Amino acid sequence: MHPERFDAKTVVVTPAATHSDGLRITEYVDIDFGTTQRRGYERYIPMDFGEPIDITASSPSAPDDLGLERVGDELRIRIGDPDIVNTGRHRYELAYTLPETGLASGVFALDIIGTQETLRTERFTVVISGIDLTDTECSVGGLSEVGGCDLQRTPRGLEAEIAPLEPGQGITIQGRVTAITSPVAVDPGPPLPERVPEDTVVVTALMLLSGLGGGWAMRRRSIRQGSNLIGGDGSAAGAAFSDGSGPSRKVTDRELAAMATIEFVPPAGISPWEGTVIVEEALTEKATEAWFTTLHGLGVINLTEVTEPTKGLQIAPGPQVTTLDPTQAALLDSLLPGGSSRVLTGYDAEFATVWKQVATWQTEQITARHWWQRPIGRSSARSIQVGAGVLAVVAVLATMIVGISIRASGAGIGAITGTVWFGVLWSAAIVTGVALVQDLHSPQPHRIRIRCVFEDRILPTFSRRQRGPPCGRSVETGRDSRVHGLGGSSR
């Protein structure tokens, strides 16, 4: 919402018809009160050239009662009704005669507007008609400033335009009078379109309705995009044992969760770390974590806490190390070359490198599986939080921009349309943010996570990021519980 301002002013100066030494001043003032409630237009006129006479005022869109009062050496003119307030755009037309300007002596010197104005004027036009001048000087600015504007000869007379005229800037025009002629009628143009008053209740209702509608549509789209493709006849058993060659249909996560029972064993050929990816629907650090802890659970490696010579976590080959396939064996050999062991006491650059290699291999494996119709990327909780934060900032900025546009628009339909779009965009941003933070289409299943040893000992060895305090809880050491606990899913 912009502040109160003058959209335009046009001041026409002509010889006074009833006073040979006077000037007739006509001011066309287009003012935008915005949402500020004003009782009308107020103008102070210095009485250096005598007290203004023959004063008239009118307005095509606002009350135009005329009130006059001497205040010191100035005349205060008020146009409006003290009992009626106005907002938005209005035009005021004010005309008066300055009877003693010295025009008959051949000198023209007139302050078109003083330096006391506190509002910005977007466009200020001065027209001098019926008076021929030479040696002219047009000045804009403070009391001591000279120059800054140019008088141009046009069919209407001598004309100057200043755009914009800032608060505190005055306009003074001087020159030598060479002839007095008949003035030309000056058309200031039509007033700016009136702002259609906005009904707050209607606007609020439209915003709420459009927001609810947009939010519902975005949520339905999120659920649809996050739905699961299952095969079989639609039953839980049909979905579990479908080979993918028969009919299929899409179900939401809630419908899929309703199909899950404790009667089915995990599908053959899916490792625990792959189960983690299925549950998370993303390649996260949890999947890489599950790979290492699964190797421990299967006896491929041994994780042992040691205190001598230095306290740390020892990783050593286990009795089942020869059961790994060549690719995974090569990854493990990068960590434990030649079957050696490694003690992790803090950040370990080589371990961090192997961690990244395992993550890259997992990405390739998941891509080759074709489990998702759209590719999934590697993400983390931090990236989700950052994304949600960025979205929140964008939503706030969009709210401010659209709100300003709504208030600044000159037509009622523009304001209503802007409000509807605001509701849709805002609700879409909110729903999307909730989807990012709470994962609308991926409800958390019941899982057992045996992570204390990993969080307390392994994570600090591949990441310099500050971790939370140790778990401080008991840990099952049975290999079977670790295998089932990491990556297990109710689906």
DSSP 324-387: S-HHHHHHHHHHSGGG--EEE-S--HHHHHHHHHHHHHHHHHHHHHT-SSS---B--HHHHHHH
What pLDDT, on a 0 to 100 scale, did the predictor assign at position 167?
A: 94
Query: Per the confidence metrics, is the pTM higher than 0.75?
Result: no
Tell which residue, 118, 94, 112, has the closest CA to residue 161: 112
Q: Reduce the DSSP state of residue 364 to 3 states and report it.
A: helix
pLDDT single digits (tens) 220-244? 666 666 667 777 666 766 666 666 6
Q: Do residues 486 and 272 touch, judged by C-beta distance below 8 A?
A: yes
Residue ranges of the chain whose pLDDT lies below 50: 198, 381, 409-414, 437-459, 462-491
Q: Do residues 36 and 18 touch, judged by C-beta distance below 8 A?
A: no
Q: According to CATH, where is 2.60.40 located in the chain?
A: 5-180
What pLDDT, on a 0 to 100 scale, did the predictor assign at position 140?
A: 96
CB neighbour list of residue 467: distance below 8 Å, 6 or more residues apart: 455, 459, 460
Which class in CATH covers the domain with range 5-180?
mainly beta
Q: Reduce the DSSP state of residue 80 to 3 states and report it.
A: strand
What pLDDT, on a 0 to 100 scale, did the predictor assign at position 206?
A: 65
What pLDDT, on a 0 to 100 scale, did the predictor assign at position 30?
A: 95
pLDDT single digits (tens) 110-163? 999 999 999 999 999 999 999 999 999 999 998 889 999 999 999 999 999 999
CA 155 to the chain's CA centroid: 49
Tell which residue, 489, 490, 491, has the closest CA to residue 276: 489
CB neighbour list of residue 271: distance below 8 Å, 6 or more residues apart: 291, 294, 487
